[in-house]
Chains A and B, each alone.
Chain A
Amino acid sequence: MTDQIVAFTYLSIVASVAGLATILVRSPVHSALSLVVVVFHVAGMFVLLGNGFLAAVQVIVYAGAIVVLFLFTMMLLDLRRHETERTVHRRQIWLAIPIAVLLFAEVAWIAISKPEISENLKGAFPPQTIDELGGSAQALATVMFTDYLLPFEVASVLLLAAAIGAMVLARNPDEESLASPPDMIEDAAGTDGSSDQPEGELSETPATHG
């Protein structure tokens, strides 16, 4: 049991320090890298909680996708030249720190004073059941595709919408013609008269300028 305590102590201290670094460092790149450290250590805690699958997803999605997305954006925007400016909201910091401390005090109070979990509240997935099912991935799958099928589907729709939305937002409207496939450029530039045709005939494009 002591090894668990050691592991937890290590994970919690490093996660907290990395979290502090995330919000204090000057450069956004360093901040993102600190977030990666936090993500890895929280994933470690998921392992301690016996949920290996979640740890893997956490690492893959956060470290592999989201933080990479951040780094890509930073590269695209070239933020280096502003790094000399003030990084902190000078006026608001004197309000922000007390509020954050207060918030922490309250949440921590709840976290510490919460009574132990009684037996009758417990769900259907004690560790033995999870082991019998073959692991946390199988256990999660059994609920995800039964009880939570609708939220799961909605989440997938959300992802699709976000993907399309991101593409629409990030597209450069000035370079629209470059983004089009070559034959459409020809269509737009070549036959001016085609715009006069009624809507119904637009679908038969290949025949008109073949």
Chain B
Amino acid sequence: MSIPLNAYLLVGAILFSLGTLGVLMRRSVLIVFISIELMLQGVNLTFAAYGAFLEDMAGSMFVVISLTVAAAEAAVGLAILVALGRRVTEFYVDRLDTLRW
């Protein structure tokens, strides 16, 4: 393990922050979704790195669980998008505000 833990954490931080930026600034619903996956990548990397350096399998276990949640989230989210596709023709987050009132 010549690479220090800090380096992994830093890469995780970069991916997480990029994901956050994507979620906050992109208009396309799909890209917002993809950005969320990017954030999860950063989190997974952090988990795995800590798991390896702490010599504990809990880190890997958390990554597996987080993968499961990501898959479930993507499936349900995209299914909602498909259902939404029957009612609207454009998928911009800033135009989907019907539920406000």
A16, A88, A114, A121: the one contacting B14 at CB < 8 Å is A16
A202 CA / B96 CA spacing, docked (Å): 43
Name the residue on B nearest A96 (C-beta).
B24
A-contact 0/1 string along B39-80, CB 8 Å cutoff: 001001100110111111110110111011111111110111
B17 touches A73 (CB 8 A): no
Chain A residues within 8 Å of chain B by Cβ, number = 91
A5 touches B3 (CB 8 A): yes
A51 CA / B52 CA spacing, docked (Å): 8
How far, in Å, is B39 (CB) from chain A's closest CB? Answer: 10
Q: Chain B contact residues: over half helix, strand or loop, or mixed?
A: helix
Query: Contacts of B80 on A, CB cut-off 8 Å?
Result: 169
Q: Given A121-B54, A159-B71, is A103 in contact with B17 using a C-beta cutoff of 8 Å?
A: yes
A107, A126, A163: the one contacting B17 at CB < 8 Å is A107
How far, in Å, is A50 (CB) from chain B's closest CB? Answer: 6
A57 at the interface (CB under 8 A from B): yes
B2, B22, B58, B68: the one contacting A22 at CB < 8 Å is B22
Q: What is B's interface to A at a CB cutoff of 8 Å?
A: 2-3, 5-22, 24-28, 30-31, 33-35, 37-38, 41, 44-45, 48-49, 51-58, 60-61, 63-65, 67-76, 78-83, 85-86, 90-94
Q: What is A's interface to B at a CB cutoff of 8 Å?
A: 1, 4-5, 8, 12, 15-16, 19-20, 22-23, 28, 31-32, 35, 38-39, 42, 45-46, 48-51, 53-54, 57-58, 61-62, 65-66, 69-70, 72-74, 76-77, 79, 82, 85-89, 92-93, 95-97, 99-101, 103-104, 107-108, 110-112, 114, 116-117, 121-127, 136, 139-140, 142-144, 148, 151, 155, 158-159, 161-163, 165-167, 169-170, 172
